[in-house]
Amino acid sequence: MNDRLLVLVRHGQSEWNLKNLFTGWKDPGLTEKGVAEAHEAGRKLKAEGLSFDVAFTSQLVRAQTTLDLALKELGQTGIPVVKNLALNERDYGDLSGLNKDDARKKWGEDQVHIWRRSYDVPPPGGESLRDTLARTLPFYVQEILPGVLRGQRTLVAAHGNSLRALIMVLEKLSPEAIIARELATGAPIIYRLNADSTVESKKDLAA
């Protein structure tokens, strides 16, 4: 019987997470804590007895490094890895690189909160969560899900908002519910799917 295993993991803490900056498509690396979180993600997956046939990640180094370190812990550095823009973090546009407190001073607390926590209001020059879903979900449906349903054990290392897009579909969440969902850095979420692509079981390895 097919395992239909799909594991999602948000990248470890990045240098800009630490500095409270809007990151988006900017490309900072992991902090020491982020590196440790990536190793720990791999160890947690190994402790669950999991192995993988294929992995997917974004075109941003913080997600790629997280994947590399997790696979190293699993002893699986040789599996195929697909890197695609569709899994990139939400593009924060003009906010990218700004300190979140400075952004609040410039645009006001309420406006920045709307940009960060609304479903369909993008920041200037950037993407809303709905925009992010519009590029992430087709890639999931066309490139990731068919392999999972064929029994390819699949690991996806990506970002808070691109993973929210997948979780929204997997868990059938409303726009309001997915906006409120927090994803811990470096904490794998293990899904096993039914043949019709619905979720059979879920296990969140957040400590």
Residue 185: in which H helix or E strand, if any? none
Alpha helix (H) residue ranges in 94-183: 100-107, 109-117, 129-139, 145-149, 160-170, 175-180
| End-to-end Cα, the chain, rounded Å | 31
Burial (CB < 10 A; 0-12, 13-18, 19+), residue 57, is: buried
Task: Say which of 37, 40, 73, 89 is annotated catalytic.
Answer: 89
- Per-residue burial over 135-164, b = 16 or more CB atoms within 10 Å of its CB, e = otherwise: bbbebbeeebbebbbeebbbbbbbbbbbbb
CA–CA separation, 207 and 111 (whole Å):
33
DSSP-assigned letter for residue 198: -
32 is catalytic: no
113 is catalytic: no
Residue 152 three-state SS: coil
Task: Say which of 11, 37, 40, 159 is annotated catalytic.
Answer: 11
Q: 163, 90 in Cβ contact below 8 A?
A: no
Residues annotated as catalytic are 11, 89
